Amino acid sequence: MSLLVVALDVPTGEEALRLAEAVHPHVDGFKVGLELLMGEGPAIVSRVAALGAPVFVDAKLHDIPNTVAGAASRLGSIGARWVTVHASGGEEMIRTAVEALATSSEGDAGILAVTVLTSLDEARLEAVGFSRSPAEHVTALSRLAAAAGAEGVVCAVPESASVKALDLGLIVATPGIRPAGSDSADQKRVATPGEAIRAGADLLVVGRPITAAADPTAAALSILQEIEAAVSTTGASHAG
């Protein structure tokens, strides 16, 4: 099942809610990232969740297990449907986050483990000490995330098919989605919505192509058309 998730990467709660209310009838969920969390605080999660769509809280937690568990628990208690942690934090950290989030959300929320950021290509990974290719690194971290009980992983579209091929039951969230002809900005590994669907992505996270558009609703509808066209040729399903 493929869901269109709009990244509310704006500085204020008012902007986020105005944008969310405008596109809400047409999309499947919203992402609350670090910019909004740092500006408005965790309460913004509850305000967005009140619109009735699932909220993907992209907190990218990465700390000792006890600290991550506490943060994940808090986010689950205020309405998060998914919470991200860095898979590189290790299996124990992921597992404690999974358990804490499940408890605080009464089983309604799950952890998504971030594998390799879409802003990193092979050269940049090597510069920070990783000798494996992005695909190899994503595969290894996906296995670790599955063993720790994560609901899914976050990876770039080029690695999505590899994760699905592992048959670990993980959902795949893909940022870096850009309609054909869009500026890739600071993303190094991007793909179109159609390419994401064909690679097996479950959550397509789209930010600036919608949020920076002159007409965000029209931009969202255009992306949905591309998703539906890809779904019709792959046999996948779209929940929107």
Q: Chunked in runs of 10, what are the mean pLDDT values of the chain (240 residues)?
A: 90 96 95 95 96 97 98 98 97 98 97 90 75 87 98 94 96 89 56 92 94 94 91 67
Per-residue model confidence (pLDDT) at position 125: 73
Per-residue model confidence (pLDDT) at position 182: 61
Catalytic residue among 31, 60, 164, 188: 60
Q: Which three-class secondary structure state does DSSP give residue 44? A: helix
Domains in the chain, start-ordered, CATH in brackets?
3-234 (3.20.20.70)
Per-residue model confidence (pLDDT) at position 239: 57
Q: Report if pTM > 0.85.
A: yes
Catalytic-residue membership of 31: no
How far apart are alpha carbons 212 and 218 in whole angstroms?
12
How far apart are alpha carbons 25 and 14 in whole angstroms?
18
116 to 73, 130, 139: CA distances (angstroms): 24, 11, 10
CB 56 within 8 A of CB 30: yes
Per-residue model confidence (pLDDT) at position 240: 53
Per-residue model confidence (pLDDT) at position 213: 93
Per-residue model confidence (pLDDT) at position 237: 58
